[in-house]
Amino acid sequence: MNVLMGFLIALAVGLTGIGGGSFTVPALVLLVGLPAAPAVGTAFVYAGVLRLIASPFYLAGKHVHGRYLWLLLQGAVPGLLVGTYFLRLLSGAAGSPVVVILLGVLLTASSSITFVSRAQNPGFARKNSHWLPWLALPIGIESGFSSAGAGALGTVLLLNYSEMTPSEVVGTDLLFGLVLAVIGGAFHWGFGSISGPVLMQLLTGGVPGVIVGCLLGRRVPKRQLKLAIAVIAIFAGLQLVWSGSRTVLARRARTASPAATISVASPSPGTVRGGAN
């Protein structure tokens, strides 16, 4: 199952740049059963390897916008360090379901803009490039805290608010996500929050998957690629909302269960007094 999961996620990463963290962390927590911190660390390293393999394909095709990449990194790298710090400081809250749900709602809503032409502004990045580091700052924070967001939110931002083609968006965001994954993965590797066996199984399917995705990305027409990116991003957002909501409900059930057991096992004071009389 882990090999197949690794292949499918890598296929999405190679084709659209999305899925390294948005799909991997919920899958590792819900399907594999990893705790939140090792799931985040494993996803970071996994996403880094996938993007390292995919990036040369887009670099060779000159589908990377160097200036926008640099501006995004100026805001995202400091945000990543802040997010990673809070992940270690609040290890019990790592992968907080509330944060996951909010990210899912934001990702779903922002991705839906792709289907609303009036809400798009392709000239925004060119005219307001000084805003890109500030827009990338929260993406870096979220990426450091949950490993999700760099690929999905970065892609959606560039897809709807820059003049780049879909292929350039994917290539630029792959490099953007690669830098964040390398930095974040190094921190998590140092912390020891990596599941080696699970990582190797994911990469067994992921390496061929990302290569196939990159090769297909070159042949998909621009409009169809843009729609595919939007659909996958919406699906990733809905998945995050679902997984976060499921975690909230599971925690509430565990919290309510002991109280119910105590109330059944312990007779009320009035019952005790009545028996004594």
Q: What is the pLDDT of residues 135-164, one digit of tens each?
A: 888 888 877 776 665 567 778 888 888 888
pTM of the model: 0.72
What pLDDT is attached to residue 3? 94
Domain boundaries, the chain: 2-250
What pLDDT is attached to residue 259? 53
Write a three-state SS string for the chain: CHHHHHHHHHHHHHHHCCCCCCCHHHHHHHHHCCCHHHHHHHHHHHHHHHHHHHHHHHHHCCCCCHHHHHHHHHHHHHHHHHHHHHHHHCHHHCCCHHHHHHHHHHHHHHHHHHHCHHHCCCCHHHHCHHHHHHHHHHHHHHHHHHCCCHHHHHHHHHHHHCCCCHHHHHHHHHHHHHHHHHHHHHHHHHHCCCCHHHHHHHHHHHHHHHHHHHHHHHHCCHHHHHHHHHHHHHHHHHHHHHHHHHHHHHHHHHHHHHHHHHHHHCCCHHHHHHHHC
pLDDT digits (tens, 9 = 90+) for 239-265: 778 877 887 788 788 777 665 545 555
Residues of the chain where predicted confidence (pLDDT) is lower than 50: 92-94, 261, 268, 270-277
